[in-house]
Amino acid sequence: MVNLPKVLGASGGVVVALGAIMGFYGFPTLIKSQISSMLALKPGSDIRKMWEQFPEPIEFQIYIFNYTNPLEIQKGAKPVVEEIGPFFYDEYKSKHELKDREKDDTVLFKPKMMWHFNKERSSPLTGNELVTIPHVAILVRTHRRMVGIINR
């Protein structure tokens, strides 16, 4: 006769072994393939539409440092700096001229970014404030000249 406890034990061991194999290899592979197919940038898919034109703007703020004494700075005085801001902007990103390349599974595109001044969030600032800021390229050039004079 067949020994029932041994058969049940062996069957249980096989089930546990198969469960472990499926748990470590089968299910993760299945889940990854499902996620990959759902997130693929196929033309016409919802993910592709969101990727091409993000539905919500990205909000960011900018602070500008205004030099309040530019004439004195030209005469050698230390700069007096005033922080102005924040200026709030909404950034809209989109992708244009899309070309799907099947052979290497990529999408070629030209990015487009637009920034819109957010008057409501920037209030009382209007975006038309006059500020004096240093011209960085000229500062670098002047600094290089000064270093050259010192090293001679």
The pLDDT tens digits for 17-71 are 888 888 888 888 888 888 877 778 888 888 889 889 988 999 999 999 999 998 9
Closest Cα to residue 113, out of 97, 89, 98, 93? 93
Map out the domains of the chain as residue ranges. Answer: 1-39, 43-151
122 vs 24 pLDDT, higher one = 122
Angle at the Cα of 86 from the Cα atoms of 83 and 92, rounded to 5 degrees: 140
Which of 62, 66, 51 minimizes the C-alpha distance to 86? Answer: 62
- What is the chain's mean pLDDT, rounded? 86
